[in-house]
């Protein structure tokens, strides 16, 4: 499919919450059945958040913690497979490197392993359950 030219901003949680949280609710809670009380956590205020915007619509979000963990990658259904997640991943990796992060890792949903492999992530360890969904740790060194 053709790429969607979304603009990506990296923001604090205070700046991003009003845009990022509705996307996460739609994707994780409504689509994937993650309990709403698990969606927000103590890491949000401490992380950097990528927000993808297209024509004034917020269509995606992801976060990067200062320890190199990337998570909460979510793209609205109508905009998947258009390069939005890739643009956010590239922006977070670049931003993290600029802020001294040398090693990145994430908890990937099993069906997303091939996506993260394209960015140099390698599956590491056993499959585990997180919020009722099968995940595997993936690591990447810069």
Q: How confident is the model at residue 4 (pLDDT cuts 50, 70, 90)?
A: low
The average pLDDT across 39-60 equals 95
What is the pLDDT at residue 132?
A: 86
Measured torsion, CA atoms of residues 84, 87, 93, 95, in degrees rounded to the nearest 10:
-110
Question: What is the signed CA dihedral for 57, 63, 64, 69, rounded to 10 degrees?
Answer: -150
Reference 51, options 90, 21, 8, 100; nearest CA is 8
Interatomic CA distance for residues 7 and 43, integer angstroms: 24
What's the residue count for the chain?
A: 142
Give the span between the Cα atoms of 121 and 106, in whole angstroms. 9
- CATH superfamily, domain at 7-101: Gcn5-related N-acetyltransferase (GNAT) (3.40.630.30)
- Quote the pLDDT of residue 6: 86
pLDDT at 2 over 90: no
Q: What is the pLDDT of residue 64?
A: 98
CA distance 124 to 37: 28
Query: Where do the domains of the chain lie?
Result: 7-101
Q: Please tell me the distance from the alpha carbon of residue 81 to that of residue 75, in angstroms, as a whole number.
A: 9
pLDDT of 142? 60
Q: Which residue has the tokens 């390069």?
A: 83
- The model's pTM is 0.92
CA distance 39 to 36: 5
H or E, element range at 85: helix 84-98
- Confidence label for 76 from pLDDT (cuts 50, 70 and 90): very high
């Amino acid at each position: 499919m053709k790429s969607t030219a979304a603009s990506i901003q990296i923001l604090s949680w205070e700046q991003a919450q009003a845009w990022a949280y509705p996307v996460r609710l739609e994707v994780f809670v409504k689509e994937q059945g993650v309990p709403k009380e698990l969606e927000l956590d103590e890491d949000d205020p401490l992380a950097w958040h990528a927000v993808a915007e297209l024509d004034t619509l917020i269509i995606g979000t992801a976060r990067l913690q200062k320890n190199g963990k990337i998570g909460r990658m979510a793209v609205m259904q109508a905009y998947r497979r258009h390069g939005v997640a890739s643009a956010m991943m590239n922006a977070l990796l670049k931003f993290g490197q600029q802020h001294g992060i040398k090693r990145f890792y994430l908890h990937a949903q099993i069906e997303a392993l091939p996506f993260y492999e394209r960015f140099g992530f390698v599956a590491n360890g056993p499959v585990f359950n997180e919020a009722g969904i099968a995940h595997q740790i993936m690591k990447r060194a810069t």
